[in-house]
Amino acid sequence: MSQARFRFYAELNDFLPPARKQVEFDHPFNGRGSIKDMIESLGVPHTEIDLILVNGVSVDFSYIVQDADRVGVYPVFESFDITPLVRLRPQPLRDPRFVLDIHLGKLAAYMRMVGFDTLYRNDYEDSELAHISKEDRRTLLTKDRGLLKRSMVTHGYCVRETNPRLQLGEVLRRFDLFNLIAPFRRCIRCNSLIESVPKAAVLAQLSPDTCQYYDEFWQCQSCDQVYWRGSHYQHMQQFIDEVIKAEFNSGE
């Protein structure tokens, strides 16, 4: 039986059992196997990885693991440039668009609230999510590690937090999206863009109190949902300000 020594770095340890976190460990194997298959058998999805060094040399996912190899596996680098080395994933998607799994409905609403194109349905099958991610060039956000191991998925991320508010900050931080926040330009219900409309055009959809106290309105171009700057708007704006403030304070 052959054996390779592995070490996973930074947040990749989230996917490992306690005895393998932050340490080198030996992994026995038989026959020939790609580094991608071996890493995923250890629990780490390939979409989380940006660099693999085998005996100090960068390799891609097709590398066949050899006996006595020493393997270092690294996550996405945010603070320094590794472009001279081999990157494993395709280049980052220039237009940040997302598709979310069934467990992230509240996060989907928050992502739309801050302006990001975010597909979500509570009845997507895993195969649909993988297909949409590939064909529409969308980053797949999920709580399901197995879904990220599908070969069709090239851009994805396993959301760690369980609280939707913390999930939003996590995703914005992970993909460096804070400078791209554009609140209240998408419909929270269906994800389509909203546009300003005359009050007269939406009178039939408004309550008497809303008619009396508000004059500026916006409407979804797809589902006709109407928005105005009422108390709900103030609460959402406060929430967005708190998310941005939390990120600013974390960098101090």
The residue-averaged pLDDT of 216-233 equals 94
What torsion do the CA atoms of 232, 236, 238, 239 make, to the nearest 10 degrees? Answer: 140
> Strand pairing partners for 194?
220
Q: Is the pLDDT of residue 86 over 80?
A: no
Q: Tell me what pLDDT residue 244 has.
A: 86
**What burial letters (b/e) apply to 54-75, b meaning 16+ CB within 10 Å?**
beeebbebebebeeebebbbbb
Q: Is the pLDDT of residue 19 over 70?
A: yes
| Residue 26 to residue 111: CA distance in whole angstroms | 41
**H or E stretch at 247:** helix 231-250
The residue-averaged pLDDT of 193-221 equals 95
pLDDT digit string, tens, across residues 134-151: 999 999 999 999 999 999
**H or E stretch at 158:** strand 156-158
* Least confidently predicted of 13-17, 88-92, 118-122: 88-92
The residue-averaged pLDDT of 82-91 equals 57
pTM of the model: 0.81
Going by pLDDT thresholds of 50, 70 and 90, the confidence category of residue 95 is confident
Q: Tell me what pLDDT residue 80 has.
A: 46
Question: For residues 2 and 90, which has the higher predicted lDDT (pLDDT)?
Answer: 2
Tally of residues, the chain = 252
Q: Tell me what pLDDT residue 94 has.
A: 59
Tokens of 199: 């009050």
Q: pLDDT > 70: what percent of the chain?
A: 92
Mean pLDDT, all residues of the chain: 91
